[in-house]
Structure 1
């Protein structure tokens, strides 16, 4: 097993969040010009080939990577992620990167809230309090009681819910399947689903935008590679908090490239969500350490 290297893992996670933020910026640019389904479909074609290539290089090849007794759940979670990406890219076109990511950042709180009913995990009062604070932050961003509420503001919240369900199902299948198997099903199922729904929405693409599409595919593969490496060299609990850096990276791209602004309520709400999310991750780490201590004792 790879030796744990927390510092390297943190650096890899920071690089991952930056690459994914760049990917989101390119996705917004392309989705402003072309159909969201087509953009995500082409992105998944490359991603599907990437996971097959990774699987082929490992022991047992593609057959071993695809082997699972939980294929309906694996296929469903792969489709769920593809749908979530479509919804989130749509949010970029409706709200921009800043506000979309500010709301989407609540997904760890949704995972914590749903881990009880979905996975049977216990959630203590401290984490429930953090979840409540985080959702107050979401309300601060959405401002449902002030003026005319924009329905588009719900779109990134739907994406966060879909991603939370995907995360919970990933935990569920991990009880019996390896990460390589889950990764394989994520890419291949997503590519199949997106081809089925996206091929009828094909549009001619200008030559310069094919460059951006190629860059989008490469950043997707690079981001997933960096993420895999981060979890290989360090414990997930050590690097996961740094995933929140995707919010400021995406915000910088939104402001500098797309001329977006950060409203005061968005900044306050995002701060509440990130603080609550970090506290939730810390409590999960403490709980896991106590569980390991009891087993060791």
Structure 2
């Protein structure tokens, strides 16, 4: 199979965003009835099993995947992602899928802004301009200083900031560790954290909701499997802009299933954020080619 099959990679990325949007919709449905910590804990149990299975089949097996010279940083990454997922799901409950994803879409811009101080990467004025445009889009969505501003709107912003830091740390550890190693530590350390925290929030679930929980676990593992395949067949720079389709799928779910409203300021703000994000990705790709 080609390692730079862009059409196949784009198709897989579109499928990935759809599956992850379904995962978010199921998470919102369950989190309206049960504690978020418990939901994420059960999800992580399945995710950890999936991660161990993937690592076992990778080159060098499980022993190679576990090996790292930066275990504290790897554990911190896993803990950070688990905490971010809890916050993101809570945002779905308070704000719904549409507004949560509209604000969360700014995370690539946060990665670009923080790549300088965290990774020592150079960010040119064009990318800083795009970051500024994205920030304006975020202000349009949040509407601070107005009577309609909700403090809950800060939840997906915190989630985006945490996910951006997770992305930067993933880049950093990749300088020494393989993708299989990072994937292993992400799943296992997150599962340990969520078990410690979430077991206290255990509550009985109805039979139908256990079916939804099973589907949540399957979409989580399936989405990560598709994402792995995406990056196996195509360059990240070719497929990354299509990751924004998750906003489209999630918004469609919010409208059709959860009867959410699509406000004009959210459409305008999200459009600016996505446009700025895609421009930033293109500039990063051009900079990488020059190097």
Q: Same fold by TM-score, threshold 0.5 exceeded?
A: yes
What is the CA distance between 1:148 and its match in structure 2?
5.0
- Give the number of equivalent residue pairs: 291
Give yes or no for contact 2:3–2:235 (8 Å, CA) kept in 1: no
Q: Does 1:18 align with 2:15?
A: no
Matches within 5 A, 1:86-101: 86-101=86-101
Structure 1 residue aligned with 2:117: 117
Counting only pairs closer than 5 Å after superposition, residues 42-121 of structure 1 correspond to structure 2 as 42-121=42-121
The alpha-carbon deviation at position 59 of structure 1 amounts to 3.0
Which digits, 9 at most, give the CA deviation of each residue in 1:176-208, with x for residues without a partner?
110010000110011001001100000100100
Query: Does the 8 Å contact 2:102/2:270 carry over to 1?
Result: yes
Corresponding position: 1:158 with 2:158: yes
Scaled by the length of structure 2, what TM-score is found?
A: 0.99
Query: Aligned partners of 1:190, 1:288: CA distance in 2, in Å?
Result: 32
Q: 1:10 to 1:68 in 2, by over 3 A?
A: same
- Distance in 1 (CA, whole Å) between partners of 2:157 and 2:58 is 37
How far apart, CA to CA, are the structure 1 residues paired with 2:95 and 2:153? 7
- Please report how far the alpha carbon of residue 62 of structure 1 lies from its aligned counterpart in structure 2 after TM superposition: 1.2
Stretch deviating more after TM superposition (50-59 or 161-170): 50-59
Query: How far 1:2 sits from its partner (Å)?
Result: 4.9
Alignment of 1:250-289 (within 5 A): 250-289=250-289
- CA–CA separation in structure 2 for the residues paired with 1:58 and 1:145: 52
Q: Any runs of at least 4 consecutive aligned residues in structure 1 with deviations exceeding 3 A, and if so which?
A: none
Q: Contact 2:58–2:180 (CA<8 Å) still a contact in 1?
A: no
Superposed displacement of residue 57, structure 1: 1.7
Distance in 1 (alpha carbons) for counterparts of 2:181 and 2:246: 26
How far, CA to CA, are the matches of 1:266 and 1:15 in structure 2?
A: 25
**1:201 equivalent in alignment to 2:198:** no
2:46·2:217 contact (CA, 8 Å) conserved in 1? yes
SS at match of 1:145: coil
In structure 2, how many angstroms separate the alpha carbons of the residues matched to 1:59 and 1:282?
Answer: 32
Instruction: State the partner residue of 1:40.
Output: 40
Residue 32 of structure 2: SS of its match in structure 1?
A: helix
Q: Which runs of 5+ in 2 are unaligned?
A: none
**Residues 1:85 and 1:13: Cα distance change in structure 2 (over 3 Å):** same
Which whole-Å deviations, capped at 9, do the CAs of 1:204-236 have from their partners, x for residues lacking one? 001000000000000000000000000000000
**Quick one: structure 1 residues 272 and 93, their matched pair in 2 at CA, closer, same or farther if it must change by over 3 Å?**
same
Inter-partner Cα distance in structure 1 for 2:192 and 2:2: 33
Unmatched tracts of structure 1, length 5 or more = 292-297
Instruction: Give 2:224's aligned residue.
Output: 224
Q: Secondary structure at the match of 1:258?
A: coil
TM superposition shift of 1:60? 2.4
**CA shift for structure 1 position 12:** 0.4
Deviation at 1:17, TM superposition (A): 0.2
